Structure 1
Amino acid sequence: MYKTTCIMKRILFPTDFSEIADNAFLYALKMADSLEAEIMLLHTFDMPIIDGAEIPINFKEMYDSLELQQMAHFQDYIPKLQRIADAHGMGHIKITHLLKSGDLTFAMQDAVGEHNISLVVMGTSGVSNWFDSLFGSQTGEAITSLTVPVLSIPIEARYKKIKTIAFTNLYREKDFEALERLVEIAVKFNASIKSLYVKKSSSTISDEEIKIWEGRCSAWPVQFFVVPHDDVKETIQDFINNQHIDMLTMLTERRGFWEDFFSSSLTKKMSYKIDIPMLALHERSSTNA
């Protein structure tokens, strides 16, 4: 049996008190329960924009008043989340909260660095045009700017046990390392992984190279699928449906990489929505290893 060394310490859960956030909270709880982690709630608020030449004498009082008001909203919201946790048998999970002023992305970056965050779980409004919507959203900003994995939960998603995880593979060394990390997470859920490589006509990787690469993973709970097709997005969609995927996982890099990866179908609309969570893993470097 594959032995896991993965230890999740703290999950960051940004919330704006919306239905989208509430829907994602159950996933955050389930992740925390399975990965033996605690949850840190994060709420951000905007300060009024004031001309530097007209800063009022009582600016500090204004800030303190606004912060107290936001903290009151936060404190009113926390019991609702605690009731959700209790109703699903996860009242034992430790939940702390963090209130910050300013931009959400910057606040998440600070929280990741200051509070030993291992994972971010956040809701998204839905992805009828998946790529364009995702990268035009705060979730997209989080995925491309944070150094820890980001689990995005579409508003259409309804929690069910994560049994099968899809991993989009390009058979590089960085994909091997990402897959190894995913295996550690999957073992915690007692889930299987299905690796998908959409082999475009322009691909230069050989069948022998693929076979050697996969041989290194023989001890892992992973099935490998190689599908020849030039429409990557449609192939992923079909794979999710046909293989009954509960969570999609991708290794993310710069936006340009994603544009290249999906270039054959960027102008096409998705034929249906992806309504399952997507876990974005980042290439591991010496700074975030």
Structure 2
Amino acid sequence: MKKIIAATDFSPVAENAVAYAASIAKQTGSELILYNAFVVPVHAANAMLPADGIQELLEQRKNRLEAKALLLAAVYDIKVRHEANFSFIEDELLLLIRKYKADLLVLGMPAKTLEQDLWGNTTTAAIKKLKFPVLAVPAGARPDHIKKVLFACDVLGGLSDKVLLSIRDLAALFNAEVEIFNVDQKVEDLQSEASAAVFNALDEGLDGISYYYKNVKSNTVIKAIESEIKAFEADILIMVPKKYGFWSSIVHKSKTRTMASGLDIPLLSIPV
């Protein structure tokens, strides 16, 4: 990991995510890129604020972001860049990822609400739209507490070498224990069809770290994962979002994005 992007709107949830990203940057020797998308405040838009007034607001935001970057650099002893521009954050994130050739995007995850269930938010939108690792950090999460990593996956759907490598690197970084957790309606499918291939892939991909495998039979995947988070006392959850076609997307709701909006621990979404 070389470059991490952390976006903030200076809310408590976003600022906690920035601190989380800075801590990871320190432990991995990465550079942190701090980003703020400036949106004209509603009261300013209603007042028809002139262009020079909007520019002044943008400069104030840039100065605040620069001060934050300097503070993070001093506290965590890391290199920090900062960018602020007049843009919607969803439009700018992909450009930033490409510009800096980043390895990880860190975003704050607001508390679960009915509105988020219906419409989502910036973080769930990033998980859905970006083909890029996104770390969703809820309020109160602390990176120095990562001792147990829960990887919830569809084993029969295949295990990506890239994903396993990311899990191995994360576990090695924090000296963490890993649980591979599979939820299936038919446990016997795994036992009869693909067990040898699955365990060979796990042994090769997670070589050198402590891990074990757990498979449960359930028709309610989300509830099963939530229960396992508590039972395992996981500090971070890793999931791989699945893509659906147009018609399938109408009836399917991403389990990864659903989990992200209701967790007390960070969720790392790693697209294949």
TM-score (norm 2): 0.80
Equivalent-residue separation in structure 2 for 1:233 and 1:130 (angstroms): 19
| Equivalent in the alignment of 1:164 | 148
Displacement of 1:9: 1.5
Equivalent-residue separation in structure 2 for 1:67 and 1:11 (angstroms): 28
| Equivalent in the alignment of 1:153 | 137
Contact 1:123 1:152 in 2 (8 A): yes
Q: 2:126 aligns with which of 132, 142, 149?
A: 142
Displacement of 1:216: 2.9
| Equivalent in the alignment of 1:21 | 14
Displacement of 1:125: 0.9
Displacement of 1:25: 1.6
Contact 1:47 1:102 in 2 (8 A): no
Q: Secondary structure of 1:79's partner?
A: helix
Q: Secondary structure of 2:252's partner?
A: helix
Q: Secondary structure of 1:198's partner?
A: strand
Summarize the alignment of residues 174-189 of structure 1 with structure 2, pairs less than 5 Å apart.
174-189=159-174
Displacement of 1:26: 1.8
Q: Residue type of the partner of 1:38?
A: E
Q: How many residues align?
A: 254
Q: Secondary structure of 1:254's partner?
A: coil
Displacement of 1:274: 2.0
More helix by share: 2
| Equivalent in the alignment of 1:216 | 201
Summarize the alignment of residues 135-284 of structure 1 with structure 2, pairs less than 5 Å apart.
136-171=120-155, 172-201=157-186, 204-218=189-203, 219-221=207-209, 222-254=211-243, 256=248, 259=252, 273-283=262-272
Q: 1:117 aligns with which of 102, 126, 131?
A: 102
Equivalent-residue separation in structure 2 for 1:125 and 1:27 (angstroms): 15
Contact 2:238 2:270 in 1 (8 A): yes
Contact 1:201 1:230 in 2 (8 A): no
Q: Residue type of the partner of 1:140?
A: T
Contact 2:6 2:21 in 1 (8 A): yes
| Sequence identity (%) | 24
Contact 1:251 1:280 in 2 (8 A): yes
Displacement of 1:105: 1.0
Equivalent-residue separation in structure 1 for 2:154 and 2:208 (angstroms): 18
Equivalent-residue separation in structure 2 for 1:243 and 1:32 (angstroms): 26
Unaligned runs of 5+ in 1: 1-7, 50-58, 284-289
Q: Deviations over 1:7-51 (max 9, x none)?
A: x111111111111111112210121122221110111123699xx
Contact 1:26 1:85 in 2 (8 A): no
1:66 lines up with 2:59 in the alignment = no
Displacement of 1:72: 2.2
Equivalent-residue separation in structure 2 for 1:67 and 1:174 (angstroms): 49
Equivalent-residue separation in structure 1 for 2:269 and 2:128 (angstroms): 9
Q: Residue type of the partner of 1:155?
A: A
Equivalent-residue separation in structure 2 for 1:242 and 1:129 (angstroms): 26
Unaligned runs of 5+ in 2: 43-48
Q: Secondary structure of 1:151's partner?
A: strand
Equivalent-residue separation in structure 2 for 1:48 and 1:130 (angstroms): 21
